[in-house]
Structure 1
Amino acid sequence: MSYIKEINSVQNPLVRQTLVLIEKSRERKKKGIFIIEGIKELELAIKGRYLLRTLFFYPELISKEEVLNQLKEVEDPPELVSISKEVFQKIAYRNSTGGILAIAKTKEHSLDQLKLESKNPLILVAEAPEKPGNIGALLRTADAAGLDAVIIANAKGDLYNPNIIRSSVGCLFTTNIGIGSSEEIIEYLKKNNISINCAALTASKAYTLVDFTQPTAIVVGTEATGLSEDWLQKSDQNIIIPMRGEIDSMNVSVSAAILIFEAVRQRKL
């Protein structure tokens, strides 16, 4: 394999298309493609079996041989494009990318596509998360805890937002992710006999007193409004993290991490 072309101008159509994909969710959704930036992120995308269409590399930071080594496990190699410093600086968000960016195909994340390998799954459900940084942090926590899946209810944005990819450090690509409405997800969990445990302030039990050793979904809402009535009415158990200060809530990713790792702790006893 050798790179097919060199691009030295920021006015090149492929460069302009890449910038549009970085900036506009509508274009990513319309075309079913998105941008991956960074060596680690690319490694995880390959591990997650994402289809790579085009790979840009800046030879001053990474050689063609190193790029080919990155792609040695890829069955359907992408088009390779060597880019100039000017082009790299135009399309790269940060200097720590290692000189690599790629255009890749998005995946389908419907509940029909969600496969649970474990007979005793531990799942995180996040209802209507909006901030890319929070979504990325939730995905990193899921990866660290070895969760069986992350399900996003009533998604507000684009899963392939570059800020989510960046804040998840590429965990997006190797995490088992499902997306659906709250109604669809509740039906899915009930159908699979997975206990629904909702983080809530009312009618709640301290999280340390709840049994998470059976098939479990931990459900978190937004910091501003919490969970909707759809979840609170269908919950098997509302759970709470007791607070000792003046406030009654924490960042959603912090709260989720506390609950998730208590479940992990119980399952290792």
Structure 2
Amino acid sequence: MHKQISSLQNPTIKKLLQLQEKSRTRKKEGLFLIEGQREISLAAKGGYKFREIYFCPDLFSSEALENLMKGFSSEVIITEISEDIYSKIAYRGGTEGVIAVAEARDLGLCNIELDKKDPLILVAEAPEKPGNIGAILRTADAAGVDAVLIANPKTDLFNPNIVRSSVGCVFTNTIATGTTSEIIAFLKERKINIYGAALQASVPYDMIDYKPGSAIVVGTEATGLSDEWLENTTQNIIIPMQGEIDSMNVSVAAGILIFEARRQRGFN
């Protein structure tokens, strides 16, 4: 089905803006927006279902649209929009002129399946900045972790800034959210070692054997991990630092720790 919208006052455009801007609307509708060809393709690869595609022919050719739509359901509604409308609903400038409306997923822990006997898991407690979450997801994708668990999230993971900053890795990782208590119980039930990045009672991160089932847990830069995590870790770990400060960006710290685990496990 192919439609056209040329007016900024069209109620459909107002609905798209609400999905873009309001977490409450995304949760109520069970829908979110994906902007950009690469991100849409990664979502399709990750098995996400699409409702609608909006494209601006001045920015995104019919040929590119045809290639993008290969394998999509014929029920997906395709709507042509003007460049004015696209610039109004686009989260960022300079993208290729295509936006999809996709169905959100339930990211509860109950929906996660760990195929490996000794999984490698990255846990982030209460990350506040969507940009940091996106960077963590990119790191997790690059390291090939088996799951990313977000404890006590401060924003929904279909926030457009997370989709953008993760360059679509929000769709390529196995992701779940839950409370700290729920995630600790999830890990302990599966006998997965818990290594918390913390200053207290810690050992250098490269002294740990990460080859058995391991969860590496990072907290916020401001407050670190909560007491509940610190009371339930197998061992706390630290990244020795040579400078004047005792903390670094959480996504950078996560990258150092996860890639040490990946190095021990091999890069194949």
TM-score by length of 1: 0.97
Partner of 1:101: 99
1:86: how far off?
Answer: 1.3
* Match 2:116 to one of 115, 118, 122: 118
Contact 1:41 1:169 in 2 (8 A): yes
1:77: how far off?
Answer: 4.3
Residue 257 of structure 2 corresponds to residue 255 of structure 1 = no
Distance 1:144 1:266 in 2: 15
Contact 2:19 2:33 in 1 (8 A): yes
Distance 1:76 1:172 in 2: 25
Partner of 2:69: 71
* Match 1:46 to one of 44, 47, 65: 44
**Runs of 4 or more above 4 Å deviation:** none
Distance 1:238 1:76 in 2: 51
Distance 1:166 1:124 in 2: 20
Matched positions, count: 267
Matches within 5 A, 1:1-269: 2-3=1-2, 5-75=3-73, 77-268=75-266
Distance 2:190 2:94 in 1: 42
Distance 1:14 1:123 in 2: 40
TM-score by length of 2: 0.97
1:97: how far off?
Answer: 2.0
Distance 2:44 2:4 in 1: 23
Distance 2:246 2:120 in 1: 26
Instruction: Structure 1: give runs of 5+ residues left out of the alignment.
Output: none
Distance 1:76 1:237 in 2: 52
Instruction: Structure 2: give runs of 5+ residues left out of the alignment.
Output: none
Contact 1:9 1:86 in 2 (8 A): no
1:246-268: per-residue Cα shift (whole Å, max 9, x none)? 11110000000000000001111
Contact 2:120 2:213 in 1 (8 A): yes
RMSD over aligned CA atoms reads: 1.2
Do the aligned partners of residues 75 and 118 (structure 1) sit closer, same or farther apart at CA in structure 2, a change above 3 Å counting?
A: farther
Distance 1:94 1:124 in 2: 28
In terms of mean alpha carbon deviation, does 223-232 or 58-67 score higher?
Answer: 58-67
Distance 1:195 1:174 in 2: 24
Distance 1:134 1:124 in 2: 14
Contact 2:20 2:91 in 1 (8 A): no
Do the aligned partners of residues 166 and 245 (structure 1) sit closer, same or farther apart at CA in structure 2, a change above 3 Å counting?
A: same
1:74: how far off?
Answer: 2.1
1:21-80: per-residue Cα shift (whole Å, max 9, x none)? 111111111111111100111011101111111100011122233212212122454100
Distance 1:243 1:79 in 2: 53
Distance 2:131 2:75 in 1: 31
